[in-house]
C-alpha cells in the first residue's frame, strides 16, 4: 500500500472514513492490564520505567500503514527507544487539550502532537529539544487567494485552540482588515483538510507537513501560501518531571545526528524547505 492510497478517503463518507481509521488504529495499540476506561478504549499505564506517551492520530504523528503503524513522531520515538534501551507505551488520543490536562495530572509522561512551541504554552509545560521544523499554511481551493493580503474579509477555519487562530488575528491587524476565524466542532487537521478538499470549508490553516502529506491525493487543494514563520515542533513533558525532559533532550540531540533521523526527514519532510 502506498502513502497515496492511504490518504485517499471515500468522497461520499470522509468523516466516517476518518473515524473508522482511528478506531482501527486504537484497537491495534490498546493496552491490557488493570483497565481504566478512557475515550472508548482501554487505558493501562505502563509500570516501572516505562515512558507513557500520548500520541495524536495524524500523518506526522501516528497512522496505520497497511498492517503496521507509521508516522514521523511515532517512528522517531520507537527508534530512539530501541537505540537507548527505553520502554515506551503509546496511547492514541482524540483530544490534544484533554491529553495535556492528563499530562499535568501524571496520567501520561509525554504528549506528542502538532504543537508548535509558544510562549504561553511554555508557562505550563516543558518542551523538548525540537524534533523538526514546520509552519502554518493556508489550504484552499479558492483560486482568488494568492497571498495573505487576499484573506481580508474572508472566512478561514482553524482547529479549536490552535495557534493559527492567534496568528490570523495578528495578520488581520497587519493588513488592516477583518479575517473571520471559525472552527465549530472540528476535531482534527485531517478532518479540516478533507472538508476543504470537498468544498464544505472555503479555506483553512493547518501545519505544512500535514498539509503536504494530505495534498498528495488532493492536488486541487492549494497549500502554497504560508501564514506563519517556520516554527519548532517539539514533544511536551510535565514540568514536574525535569529528569525525563533532560534525558529526552539529550537523546533527541544525539538521534538527530544519526542516519535513522536523516531517513525520517527524507521520508516525511522532503517537501518542506527547512530542517533542523
The predicted structure's pLDDT at residue 45: 52
Distance CA 152, CA 174 (A): 10
Residue 244 is predicted with a pLDDT of 94
Dihedral (CA of 24, 30, 34, 40) sign: negative
Question: How far apart are alpha carbons 45 and 34 in whole angstroms?
Answer: 9
User: What are the tens digits of pLDDT across the range 193-221?
Assistant: 999 999 999 999 988 888 888 888 899 99
> Please, which pLDDT band fits residue 20 given cuts at 50, 70 and 90?
very low
How would residue 107 be classed by pLDDT, with cut points 50, 70 and 90?
A: very high
Cβ contacts of residue 261 below 8 Å, gap of 6+? 76, 255
- 247-267 pLDDT, tens per residue? 999 999 999 999 999 999 888
What CA–CA distance (Å, rounded) separates 38 from 208?
Answer: 30
CA 108 to centroid of chain Cα atoms? 17
For the segment 46-87, what is each residue's pLDDT rounded down to a tens digit?
556 899 999 988 778 888 877 888 889 999 999 999 999 999
Predicted confidence at residue 38, as pLDDT, reads: 44
User: Hey, where are the domains in the chain?
Assistant: 25-131+234-269, 136-226
Q: Across the chain, what does the average pLDDT equal?
A: 79
The contacts of residue 42 (CB under 8 Å, 6+ apart) are 30, 31, 32, 35, 36
The pLDDT score that the predictor gives to residue 204 is 94
For the stretch 118-176, pLDDT in tens is 777 788 899 999 998 888 899 999 888 888 888 999 999 998 767 788 788 888 998 88
pLDDT bucket at 270, cuts 50 / 70 / 90: low
| Higher-confidence position of 75 and 27 | 75
Which cell goes with 71?
508516522
- The superfamily in CATH containing domain 136-226 is Periplasmic binding protein-like II (3.40.190.10)
Same fold, 25-131+234-269 and 136-226: yes
pLDDT at 212: 86
The CATH code belonging to domain 25-131+234-269 is 3.40.190.10
Amino acid at each position: 500500500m502506498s502513502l497515496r492510497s492511504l490518504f485517499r478517503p471515500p468522497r461520499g463518507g470522509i468523516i466516517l472514513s476518518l473515524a473508522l481509521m482511528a478506531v482501527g488504529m486504537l484497537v491495534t495499540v490498546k493496552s491490557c492490564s488493570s483497565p481504566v476506561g478512557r475515550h472508548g478504549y482501554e487505558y493501562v499505564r505502563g509500570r516501572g520505567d516505562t515512558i507513557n506517551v500520548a500520541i495524536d492520530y495524524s500523518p506526522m504523528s501516528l497512522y496505520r500503514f497497511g498492517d503496521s503503524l507509521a508516522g514521523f513522531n511515532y517512528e522517531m520515538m520507537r527508534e530512539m527507544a530501541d537505540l537507548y534501551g527505553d520502554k515506551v507505551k503509546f496511547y492514541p488520543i482524540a483530544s490534544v487539550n484533554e491529553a495535556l490536562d492528563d499530562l499535568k495530572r501524571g496520567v501520561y509522561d509525554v504528549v506528542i502532537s502538532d504543537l508548535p512551541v509558544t510562549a504561553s504554552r511554555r508557562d505550563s509545560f516543558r518542551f523538548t529539544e525540537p524534533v523538526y521544523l514546520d509552519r502554518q499554511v493556508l489550504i484552499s481551493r479558492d483560486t482568488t487567494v494568492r497571498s495573505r493580503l487576499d484573506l481580508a474579509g474572508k472566512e478561514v477555519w482553524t482547529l479549536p485552540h490552535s495557534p493559527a487562530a492567534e496568528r490570523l488575528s495578528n495578520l488581520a491587524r497587519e493588513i488592516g482588515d477583518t479575517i473571520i476565524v471559525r472552527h465549530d466542532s472540528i476535531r482534527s487537521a485531517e478532518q479540516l483538510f478533507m472538508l476543504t478538499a470537498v468544498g464544505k470549508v472555503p479555506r483553512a490553516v493547518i501545519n505544512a507537513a500535514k498539509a503536504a502529506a494530505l495534498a498528495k491525493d488532493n492536488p486541487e487543494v492549494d497549500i502554497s501560501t504560508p501564514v506563519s514563520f517556520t516554527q519548532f515542533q517539539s514533544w511536551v513533558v510535565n514540568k514536574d518531571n525535569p529528569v525525563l525532559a533532560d534525558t529526552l533532550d539529550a537523546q533527541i540531540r544525539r538521534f538527530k545526528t544519526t542516519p535513522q533521523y536523516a531517513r525520517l526527514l527524507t521520508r516525511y519532510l522532503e517537501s518542506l524547505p527547512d530542517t533542523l
